[in-house]
Amino acid sequence: MNEINEEKKMELSEVKSLFDEILVRHIQRLLEIDTLAASLSFNLSTIACLLVLVERENEIKNSPQSPPDRYTREAFLDELSNIGLDIDDNLMVSFQGLAQHGYVEIDKRNRYNAQISAFALVSFLDNLFPGMKGMNLVGYILQMISEVTSKRKGLDEAISQFDQTLESKGIPLSRQHIKIDEKKSLSIQPRSRLDQKEAKQISDDLKKAYVQKLERMRTRMSSGGSLAQEGKSISSDRKPAVKEIFPKGPSEAEIQAKEAAEKAAGEAEAKAELEAEKKAVLAEAQKTAKEAELRAAAIAAQEAAIKAREAELKAKEAEIAAREEQTRVDSRKDEIRDEIAQPASIDQNNIEKKIAAFQETIAISCPACNIGKVLSGTTEKGQEYYSCSNSHCGFISWGKPYPFECPLCKNKFLIEIPAEGGQRGLKCPRSTCSFRQDHLGPPQTDTASSPGKKRKLVRRVKRRS
């Protein structure tokens, strides 16, 4: 059983290797270069890893409320296995190549994050095969491999079909971005035009030589020489004269060699220009990807600064609100003190009624946090207690708090207690403080009741001389 599984794995690996060779060859053809300059191999594993990572980043971007988690190693390999890829050494080498070239980043939590250059590379591949964008190309290749390994289709037939499909679906890079001037490609003139030019030059040379020959003959006749002798001389000189007047033109072999040299030079020049333009396009794409990455980093920094500023403003707003509340309470305290400080004609009952009315009209601010209000409650046994309405504050007291400062220990509040004669009084809640009064009004400052400073005695030991 194990031997059968090993044979299937070997067969799958061999078939996948053949399809990878065809895929890489067609990408080289579409880029119009002999070999890929980059060490990154555009095989099935590399393209699948790129697409899976880029699709996950798009899902995170499109679902800000509940974004999916980025892939860890285990989740990433599971996803590749689910789409039909065999997790082998070739796949791991392809993924390591992506990480080494900066297309994917692995953070401190071992999560995979596709970089901006990966998005640019996927878009570049989509432009090469616009009819099979994204996972469509990977799915098509995996389907062809599955048909071969399951014996539904022969290997030769599948490879031929795959080769023809990439041939028809692929669009070369030059047809996408590069436009070559037709005048530059026509580096060699037609042969008929070249022959006409040379024929005209030969005709002009013949006419000029013939006129010169006639002039020489007229000069000899005018010198008195014998016409017969001159005629003989002319007849004897006619043959070499023809050789001088009618020189032979270039031979057919020379014309073909010249045309071949000019054609080769033109093709070399056009190819050099095409290679230069392709390099310029690739450099521009890399520059654009780098600029996009820098812009994304700048935007992230700005967003972080804005969030920090918002948090600072919220803290200041809370501080201002607390100060305003304290100011309101202090103002009301002053009003009550002014009312209590009226002439002695106001009896004790009126004072206590006003104090009770004051306690009813305003809610006492929590003396601990100055944010919440003091609320009363009752335990299961019917005993009344007081606590703060602020859920983040832990203030609680059996006695009702009053916003009066203790004149002895300077505690921020006093609590209500029963006094003599059925009255109500106030005392300091601190166990170490002895302040107590028999009424609910503000405490009177009494320097006599405040503890005096203890004199520290220092015993000095006299040294014997």
Which of the residue ranges 46-55, 101-110, 171-180, 329-338 would you say has the lowest mean pLDDT?
171-180
User: Which has the closest alpha carbon to 83: 123, 53, 117, 127?
Assistant: 53
User: Which has the closest alpha carbon to 188: 257, 241, 262, 242?
Assistant: 262
Residues 164 and 63 in one domain: yes
Residues 215 and 150 in one domain: no
Beta strands in 108-198 (DSSP E): 112-114
For residue 378, what are the β-bridge partners?
384
pLDDT of residue 446: 59
Beta strand 424-427 pairing with 112-114: unpaired
* Contacts with 194 (C-beta within 8 Å, 6 or more apart), sequence order: 255, 259
User: Which has the closest alpha carbon to 43: 21, 26, 28?
Assistant: 21
> DSSP string spanning 106-123?
E-TT-BEEE-HHHHHHHH
Please report, as a single letter, which amino acid is at residue 53: L
Q: What is the DSSP letter of 373?
A: B
Percent of the chain with pLDDT over 90: 28
Cβ–Cβ under 8 Å, residues 340 and 441:
yes
Which ranges in 42-134 belong to alpha helices (H)?
Answer: 44-62, 73-82, 89-100, 116-128
Beta strands in 255-394 (DSSP E): 374-378, 384-388
Q: Which helix (H) or strand (E) holds 298?
A: helix 252-340
Residues 167 and 206 in one domain: no
Residues 36 and 154 in one domain: yes
Residues 122 and 209 in one domain: no
Residue 302 lies in a domain: no
Cβ–Cβ under 8 Å, residues 435 and 443:
yes
pLDDT one-digit tens code per residue, 242-284: 333 333 445 667 777 888 888 888 888 888 988 888 888 888 8
pLDDT at 34 over 60: no
pLDDT at 368 over 70: yes
CATH number of residue 121's parent domain: 1.10.460.10
Residues 158 and 207 in one domain: no
Please report, as a single letter, which amino acid is at residue 383: Q
pLDDT average, residue stretch 57-80: 93
pLDDT average, residue stretch 26-31: 86
pLDDT one-digit tens code per residue, 431-440: 899 999 988 8
For residue 374, what are the β-bridge partners?
388
Please report, as a single letter, which amino acid is at residue 252: E
pLDDT of residue 282: 86
Pick the last residue of a domain from 246, 279, 307.
246
Please report, as a single letter, which amino acid is at residue 163: D
Cβ–Cβ under 8 Å, residues 38 and 279:
no
Residues 94 and 237 in one domain: no
User: Which tokens hold the place of 459?
Assistant: 């015993």
Dist. CA 250–CA 259, nearest whole Å: 12
pLDDT average, residue stretch 65-80: 93
Residues 45 and 76 in one domain: yes
User: Which has the closest alpha carbon to 113: 105, 121, 102, 125?
Assistant: 105
Residues 204 and 147 in one domain: no
pLDDT one-digit tens code per residue, 145-192: 999 999 999 999 999 999 999 999 999 877 875 444 333 332 333 333
Domain count, the chain: 3
Cβ–Cβ under 8 Å, residues 25 and 42:
no
Residue 398 lies in a domain: yes
Q: Which helix (H) or strand (E) holds 397?
A: strand 396-397
Arithmetic mean of pLDDT over the chain = 77
Residue 253 lies in a domain: no
Residues 12 and 157 in one domain: yes
C-beta atoms surrounding 105 within 10 Å: 12
Residues 144 and 214 in one domain: no
pTM over 0.85: no
User: Which tokens hold the place of 209?
Assistant: 């030589």
pLDDT at 21 over 90: yes
Beta strands in 189-329 (DSSP E): none
Residue 406 lies in a domain: yes
Q: What is the DSSP letter of 188?
A: S
User: Which tokens hold the place of 228?
Assistant: 């017969």
Q: Which helix (H) or strand (E) holds 227?
A: helix 227-245
Residue 171 lies in a domain: yes
Residue 239 lies in a domain: yes
**Helices and strands counted in the chain (H then E):** 12, 9
pLDDT of residue 208: 53
pLDDT one-digit tens code per residue, 394-448: 888 888 888 888 999 988 889 988 888 878 899 998 889 999 998 888 887 654 4
User: Which has the closest alpha carbon to 138: 70, 43, 29?
Assistant: 43
N- to C-terminal Cα separation, the chain: 110
pLDDT one-digit tens code per residue, 114-134: 999 899 889 989 999 999 999
Residue 286 lies in a domain: no
Q: What is the DSSP letter of 72?
A: B
Domain extent, residue 431, equals 348-437
pLDDT average, residue stretch 378-404: 86
User: Which has the closest alpha carbon to 40: 120, 122, 97?
Assistant: 97
Residues 202 and 164 in one domain: no
C-beta atoms surrounding 261 within 10 Å: 11
Residue 236 lies in a domain: yes
Which of the residue ranges 39-53, 198-212, 392-406 would you say has the lowest mean pLDDT?
198-212
pLDDT of residue 348: 66
